Structure 1
Amino acid sequence: MSGPLLCEGRVVIVTGAGRGLGRAHALAYAAEGARVVVNDLGVGLDGTPGPDSPAARVVAEIRAAGGQAVAHGGDIATTDGAASLVRTALETYGRLDTLVNNAGFLRDRMLVNLDEDDWDAVLRVHLKGHFLPLKHAAAHWRAEAKEGRTPRARVVNTSSGAGLLGSVGQGNYSAAKAGIIGLTLVAAAELGRYGVQVNAIAPAARTRMTERTFADTMAAPGADSFDAMAPENVSPLVVWLGASASTGVTGRVFETEGGRITVMEGWRPGPTADKGARWTPSEAGDTALKLLAEAEVPGAVYGAG
Structure 2
Amino acid sequence: MAVTHHARHTITIDAPAQAVYAIIADAADWPRVFPPSVHVEQTPLGEGEEILQVWATANDEVKSWQSRRRLDPQALTIGFRQERSTAPATSMGGQWQIRPLSKARCEVVLLHDFTALDDAPENVEWINRALDHNSEAELGRMKSTAESAGQLGELLCTFEDRVRIEAPSAEVHAFLWRGEQWQERLPHVARVKLTEPQEDIQVLEMDTIARDGSRHTTESVRVSLGSSRIVYKQLRVPPLLTAHVGAWLLEESEGVTTAVARHTVVINPSSVTLLGPETTVAGARAFIRDALGTNSLATLRHAKEFTERSPAR
Verify same fold: TM over 0.5: no
Q: Counting helix residues as a fraction of each chain, which structure ranks higher?
A: 1
Q: Counting strand residues as a fraction of each chain, which structure ranks higher?
A: 2
TM-score with structure 1 length normalisation?
0.26
TM-score with structure 2 length normalisation?
0.25
